[in-house]
Structure 1
């Protein structure tokens, strides 16, 4: 790795896929904000993506860690131990999201939803990247700073 791979605090820059995964994992929050911004169509938008209210609340609950990690990412040099733990927190959230999607798809085998299937594939890809990327793991590792 060269010096361009580090930020002004001497920490490894986060890869683009990290941000993509955060957006994917916080998708319920993003949809909720979009629904709030479009007041007339907001209820219909939420009903379109979350016809079952329970899955909406699961999404809100499981979206809390990605939102907090997004907020923490610009200040990760101030709280390195919390930053290191956030890797495992988001990993657990990704497993829970994937498991809930699997259960939901299994329960609705009569009428498969293409959107649910596409999101499950995206979540599986995100989970694989999260587990296999050495660069991402190094970003959450012990303080890797330039001296």
Structure 2
């Protein structure tokens, strides 16, 4: 690795795809914040994307680890053990999200929307990147620090 790949704290810089995956995994939280910011249309916006309240709350629950990892990312040098656990927590959340999406698509009795298929494909790509990227894995490994 190049010394320019490290930040001021001696830790590997997080790749752009890491941030993209966090946004994808915390999409319910982002929608919730956007709905709160657009006060009058907020409930309509939530109803449009989540007509079933159960799926909204499961999205909020599954989006909590990515939101917490996002908040922790700037201070990962302070809590390295928690940061390392974040890798596995996000991986588990991605598996659960992908499994629930697959189950929902498989059990769907009505027409499957293109948005559901695109989100499932994006989640599959994110999961594959998370598993296959050595650089991303090294960002969560304490041994990849500059002394």
CA displacement 1:53-82 (0-9 Å, x = unmatched): 110000000011001000111111111111
Cα offset, 1:110, TM superposition: 2.9
Which stretch shifts more, 103-112 or 22-31?
103-112
Distance in 2, matches of 1:108 and 1:45, equals 23
Superposed structure 1 runs of 4+ greater than 4 Å apart: none
* Cα offset, 1:144, TM superposition: 1.7
1:89 aligned to 2:89? yes
| Residues 1-147 of structure 1: pairs in structure 2 closer than 5 A | 1-147=1-147
**Secondary structure at 2:41 match in 1:** helix
Q: Distance in 2 between matches of 1:5 and 1:17?
A: 15
CA RMSD of aligned residues (A): 0.9
> TM-score scaled to structure 1, two decimals?
0.97
Q: Is the 8 A contact 1:11 1:143 kept in 2?
A: no
Structure 2, unmatched stretches of 5+, are none
Q: CA deviation at 1:109?
A: 4.2
Shift of 1:142: 2.4
What is the SS of the residue equivalent to 1:63? helix
Deviation at 1:146, TM superposition (A): 1.4
Q: Distance in 2 between matches of 1:110 and 1:41?
A: 27
Instruction: Judge conservation of contact 1:12–1:144 (CA < 8 Å) in 2.
Output: yes
Structure 1 residues not aligned, in runs of 5+: none
- TM-score, normalised with respect to structure 2: 0.97
Q: How many residues align?
A: 147
SS in 2 for 1:76: coil
SS at match of 1:39: coil
